[in-house]
Amino acid sequence: MDRETRLKRLQFRAWHRGTREADFLIGGFFDRYSQDWSDKELDWFERLLVEDDVDVMAWAIGTLPVPPAFDGPEMANMQQLDYIDATK
């Protein structure tokens, strides 16, 4: 699959999580950072999308420790929460 198609599919999955809170957190993160991601970072995000939203949100806000498989610079960016548009 070409990069553009992959990004569109990931964006859809990021913004259709099932709860508004997860949509803003995961979708907002995707919108803010994805255009600069390498294939390795896209793979990381794709694996993240398989995880339960409550876990991803807890890792992002620091109420649960981040598993080693997701710990790193991408999660550090997610934990900044500066990509969430509170006006929506």
pLDDT at 23 over 90: yes
Domains and CATH numbers, the chain: 3-79 (1.10.150.250)
30, 35, 40, 43: CA torsion to nearest 10:
40
Looking up tokens 């990381």 gives 44
pLDDT higher than 70, residue 86: no
Tens digit of each residue's pLDDT (9 = 90 or more) over 54-72:
999 999 999 999 999 999 9
- How many Cα atoms within 13 Å fall on the side-chain side of residue 33? 26
Q: Name 58's Cβ contacts closer than 8 Å, sequence gap at least 6.
A: 64
pTM of the predicted model over 0.75: yes
Residues contacting residue 82 through CB under 8 Å, at least 6 positions apart: 32
Section 40-55 average pLDDT: 97
